[in-house]
Amino acid sequence: MSENLALMIPEPNADLAERALIGALIIDADLYLDVAARVAPDDFRGQMEQRAYKAIKETREAGLGVDLITIDSALRAKGFGEPFAYQMAEWAENAFPPHCLSYAKSIREAATLRKCRMKIIDYFDQNPGVPYFERIMDLVGSLRDAIIAECEEPRPIVDGLYQMMKAFDLSGHEQTLAMKFPGLDDFFKLKRKELVVVAARPSMGKSAFTLNLLIALWQEKLHSAVISLEGNNQQLAARLIAYICQIDNFRVQNNRLTDSEYARITAIQPYVAEMGIYSLDREFDWERIKAQITRFKFRHPEIAAVAIDYLGLVNIGGEFENRTLQIGKLTKEAKRLAQELDIAIILVCQLSRAVESRQDKRPILSDLRESGNIEQDADQVVFLYRDKYYDKSVSDDIVEIDVAKCRDGKVGVRRMIFVPEFLKFRPVNSGPDGDLFP
């Protein structure tokens, strides 16, 4: 009976996850403490993978460095003459360290299913004469106990306190993304692992505001990237030049510059070349956008934020009844991606014409409720509104920056002056700025 059942019930495995986890730990051994709480050596199905994980565990606990050479030496010292180094190097090449907990979860789940499989086989082998119904009921109870035994223990509240304290630096300040944005940086903050939605009607300055955020991050030496579905790398470079040199964006885009303006642009080229703001290839397919961001973060771990401009042009794909369900899928996955990659994701959205039908055309959170789960999934929602867009007689181009939702902070409205020709936001009651950089 047991032989027949063994053939009928395939052995669950997470072989790829086992190899990816070993590779991830070779790349970043500091992840071991988080992994060790979830996976034991016996959870590995592959003999080579189990030996490698044991070697990492013992090397780490001995206070030694973990890399391909030390782990291969530890394995050879145990009498395993097989050259592991080449195999582990291949695993490391295909691993992505930020996904290590996902690898660990897959390994643990597969190990639990293998134990359940063995219980099924052993039970039917040891109880051949018990009526079928009684065997099923007993087996269900046995499997329940096995699964409960494999579940994680309840975590004490002090663990939550520890995680919270890890989010603060030694000076007691929360580790938000520092940015230099006069008039706003004391009010609005970007944070890693958060999905931030910037939404407005067309021509309100959404793209310009997003660019201002990325420049503000760079002034604190934080790197970022943008996927602009409406423009290209050359247009982004022109916008940066218009902002930095305060030259009309239209004239920069169309190469209508004076000699003195050419000289100013030439002077700041070395600085622009070193700016940590990257323009990623324009992709319209959501799955490709996710893969591109993940690959870029792996190659450039210093990246702190990624902006997607804008949601309406993203092709989400899949079989959905309507666009609302598609957007719901995207926002959930964007939030998950921000958490996995430890970055802030800024998602630029265009509001529907429904806003125009109201007497007060300022956007409100309910304007997002017809667009999937944007309001629910976003950690922060920022609306932009300009009176001058509707009333050309208004002298100052004041933009209202409305932080309508902030999961862990304050909401409210901050008024700033928008200078559209320079794509620049500056505080109210401040004079015109000089060049951003001398």
40 and 106 in a single domain? The answer is yes
119 and 236 in a single domain? The answer is no
Q: How many separate domains does the chain show?
A: 2
User: Has residue 309 been placed in a domain?
Assistant: yes
Distance CA 177, CA 170 (A): 15
Residue range 403-429, pLDDT digits in tens: 999 987 789 999 999 998 999 998 887
User: Has residue 350 been placed in a domain?
Assistant: yes
Residue that terminates a domain, selected from 124, 153, 182: 153
Residue range 125-151, pLDDT digits in tens: 676 665 554 555 555 555 555 555 555
User: Has residue 167 been placed in a domain?
Assistant: no
Which residues 6+ apart lie within 8 Å of 410 measured at CB?
187, 403
Domain membership of residue 110 as a residue range: 2-153
75 and 213 in a single domain? The answer is no
- What pLDDT band is residue 291 in, cutting at 50, 70 and 90? confident
**CATH number of the domain bearing residue 401:** 3.40.50.300
264 and 353 in a single domain? The answer is yes
User: Has residue 308 been placed in a domain?
Assistant: yes
307 and 358 in a single domain? The answer is yes
User: Has residue 60 been placed in a domain?
Assistant: yes
Residue range 335-378, pLDDT digits in tens: 989 988 889 999 999 888 888 888 888 998 888 865 667 888 99
Residue that terminates a domain, selected from 92, 126, 153: 153
pLDDT at site 83: 61
Which residues 6+ apart lie within 8 Å of 239 measured at CB?
208, 211, 249, 252, 423
User: Has residue 169 been placed in a domain?
Assistant: no
Decide: pTM greater than 0.85: no
The percent of residues in the chain predicted with pLDDT above 90, rounded, is: 19
pLDDT at site 129: 62
pLDDT at site 381: 94
- What pLDDT band is residue 190 in, cutting at 50, 70 and 90? very high
60 and 200 in a single domain? The answer is no
225 and 288 in a single domain? The answer is yes
Task: Look at the block and give the residue holding tokens 């010292």.
Answer: 77
pLDDT at site 438: 33
Residue that terminates a domain, selected from 98, 131, 153: 153
User: Has residue 432 been placed in a domain?
Assistant: no
319 and 261 in a single domain? The answer is yes
User: Has residue 190 been placed in a domain?
Assistant: no
Determine if the peptide bond prior to 310 is cis (ω within 30°).
yes
401 and 252 in a single domain? The answer is yes
142 and 210 in a single domain? The answer is no
Average pLDDT of the residues of the chain: 80
36 and 134 in a single domain? The answer is yes
pLDDT at site 434: 43
**CATH number of the domain bearing residue 70:** 1.10.860.10
Q: How far is CA 23 from CA 12, 63, 329, in A?
A: 21, 19, 30
226 and 374 in a single domain? The answer is yes
Distance CA 271, CA 216 (A): 15
